[in-house]
Structures are given as structure tokens and as C-alpha cells.
Amino acid sequence: MNLIARISLPLLMLFMVAGCGFKDIDKRFFVVNTGIDWSGNKDKPYRITIQLAIPSPKIEPGTSKNQYETIDAPTIAEGIRMLKAYVDKELDFGHCKLFVIGDGMAKQDIRPVINWMLRRRDIQNGANVAIGEPTAKDILNIHPPSERYPGNALLLSFGTDGTESSYTYVETISGLERRLTEDGLDPILPVITTDGKESFIINRIALFDKQRLKLSLPPADSQLFTQLSNHFTKSSMHGMFKGDKIVSAINSFQSSFHIQHGAEPAQIRMKVKMKVVFEEAPDGLFNQSWAPLEKQLGEEYEQTANKLLRKIQQAGLDPFGFGLRYRAYHPGENNWKKWKDLYPDANLSVKAQVKVEGTGLIK
């Protein structure tokens, strides 16, 4: 029996290798970006657009070649399977670094979209997710003249290799899935829009409940949110001093919050510390005392931040994770129910400490 087993095992392994589904790289179509829109048809609600990379010997700005395929389907998985009949190579999502959800789909329900992303084997959990306005298909069809590789322009916008904007919030599939499932932490996604020409704009943030889009922040509030939530340093702060406008570059930024719930209403205190250097300011500040200026800038920042926190609270959202912190420090069966009763009436306030490190001039 041992001899038979020794002969049978190698033969069995050969049969397994022969049945392998591996395909060479020249027989694969690499999907670089994927868009999912709401079609408006209840029978086929998902409009799926894939951007396929076409290899090119030239690596120059404006030489990227793409192929687009779009289909309406009852489910995303079925739509992708049907799209295989539209191309001559196997679809591979291993290099897809961005998934764009259309604004219409975001206002419906994003959970089925994220569920499909998490379950598919060849999709990376570190891929980025964003909202496309007006549609994901419109965003994917933008061809910036500077793009050298298929889909590379959008990839650089969300990575650290290219531009780093304080208006752009970056979210991955795994991070979004955590926010969708964790009580006390609501989802956030960046919004990509187009100027109607050959470029796109990413300067807004969309806030969600556990299902759909609830609040879209304008650019100024989006930058403020990235500062308060992500400690984003490469950003700016605007203010006024004695009627003159001042724009400061933030060199360092720290924020923390504390929840006091002994007496009602609950108190959520956020502390902010930052060090700034002036980029635009009136002449003559170098030889003056900076203490009054620091106080004025801090008070203006507090007012702006308090308005943003109240706006988010009135929408019934918690993207900062106040509820998650409360659950962590107050374990129990009814802690989540108690927090949902406390949060709508909680008193939120921000205390800002601004330290001026320089006026941007030697003298």
C-alpha cells in the first residue's frame, strides 16, 4: 500500500496543476478604477463602470490609454460576471486602487456595494473609496492631460506620492467597513467633482449614517474636519486681526476630547493645540507682541469649530467617534442606548491654543 500511495500522490498533484485557472499577464485586463452608480431602474439598480488599462510603450504625459465598459445589472457581482462577455481577457481587480460610488447610489444604500468589495478575493482592503458627483461614470471618464498611466491621476490624488491636500479626506475599504459596523463611529468619504473640462476637484467631505449620505460639508468645513479628526498638519488657518486678513500655515496640530456625563446635559470638550507661521499678514507684526494676536486667532478658530460640531450633531451623526469613546470607558449592556439618549442634547465646545512661531519674514 505504501508503494501505491507514493505513486498516486505525484499523479494526483499533476492533475491538480493541470486544472489550475492561472492565466498569463497578457491574457488579463487590469481594472484600475471602478464606478458604481444608481441606474434608477429597480430591476437593474446598479450601473457598473470599469476602467481598463491598455499597456502602451510610451510613458509620457497624456499618453495613457484606457478602455471603458458599462452595464446595468440587478447585482454588482452579476454585473461584473456579465461584463466578462464584453472583453477578450480575464478581468483582474488586483490593481484597482479606487472605487467611486455615484452620488445617487450614496443617497440610496452603500452597504451592498461595500459588502461586495469585502467579499471579492482580488480586491485589496487598502483600496480607496470616494463619492463621485454627479456620477461615478462621469468622474472615471475624465482624462487629465498630465496622466502618464491609466488611472494614475486619481491614484496620486489619494496617496502620499502625489499631492497632499488638507481638503482631501482619504478612506480605505477596511476603514469604511469598520465605520459601517462599529457603534459610535459613522462613515466619512471624500467627494470627487469635475470642473467640466479635463480635471477633477476633491475638496469636500460626505458624512453618512450607517446606510446613506446625510450631510455634505463645503470646502472650508472639510478642511476644518480633517484638522480636528486626522491631525492633518499641511493645512492653513484663516483669521482677522484689527480688520486685516491673516492666513497661517499650520506646522503642528494636536487635538483631543473628553466626555463628562455626570450631570445633564453631557459635556464634550475638545482641546486643540497648534503652532502656526504667517503666510499672509499685514506689515509691522514682527516687532509687536504676538499674545493678543494668538488669543484672537484662537477665539475665531473656536467659533468656527463649534459651528461645525453643532452642524454635525444636529444631523445626528458622529464621525469623530464620541460614542465609541463613551462605549470604551463605560462598558455595559445598555451603554449604547444611554449614549444615543445623551448625544443629541450634549454640549460640545472647542478650546483652541494658538502659538505663533513666526511671521514668515526675517524682520
pLDDT digits (tens, 9 = 90+) for 225-235: 999 987 676 78
Q: Which three cell numbers stand for residue 287?
A: 516687532
Lowest mean pLDDT across 65-79, 257-271, 315-329: 257-271
pTM, two decimals, is 0.87
Residue 315 scores a pLDDT above 90: yes
Same domain, 184 and 58: yes
Same domain, 287 and 174: no
**HSE (side-chain half, CA atoms, 13 Å) at 338:** 13
Structural domain contains residue 277: yes
Q: Which of 175, 194, 217 is a domain's end point? A: 217
Structural domain contains residue 212: yes
Q: pLDDT higher for 340 or 147?
A: 340
Same domain, 212 and 252: no
Q: Which three cell numbers stand for residue 234?
A: 499641511
Q: Which CATH number covers residue 308?
A: 3.30.300.210
Residue 273 scores a pLDDT above 70: yes
* Rg of the chain over all Cα atoms, to the nearest angstrom: 25
Phi, psi of 58 (to 5 degrees): -90, 135
Using DSSP bridges, classify how beta strands 98-102 and 46-54 pair: parallel, antiparallel or unpaired.
Answer: unpaired
Residue 287 scores a pLDDT above 80: no
Distance between CA 71 and CA 56 in Å, rounded? Answer: 26
Q: What whole-number percentage of the chain has pLDDT above 90?
A: 55
**Spatial contact of 266 and 345, defined as CB atoms under 8 Å apart:** yes
Q: Which of 217, 250, 273 is a domain's end point? A: 217
Structural domain contains residue 84: yes
Same domain, 129 and 250: no
Distance between CA 204 and CA 140 in Å, rounded? Answer: 18
Same domain, 64 and 142: yes
Same domain, 209 and 78: yes
Q: Which of 184, 217, 250 is a domain's end point? A: 217
Per-range mean pLDDT, top range of 8-12, 65-69, 231-235: 65-69
Distance between CA 237 and CA 220 in Å, rounded? Answer: 10
**HSE (side-chain half, CA atoms, 13 Å) at 19:** 6
Same domain, 173 and 298: no
Residue 210 scores a pLDDT above 80: yes
For residue 159, give its domain range. Answer: 24-217
When divided into structural domains, the chain yields a total of: 2
Same domain, 65 and 144: yes
Same domain, 129 and 73: yes
Residue 22 scores a pLDDT above 70: no
Same domain, 203 and 248: no
Structural domain contains residue 35: yes
Structural domain contains residue 231: yes
> Looking at residues 18-42, what average pLDDT do you find?
79
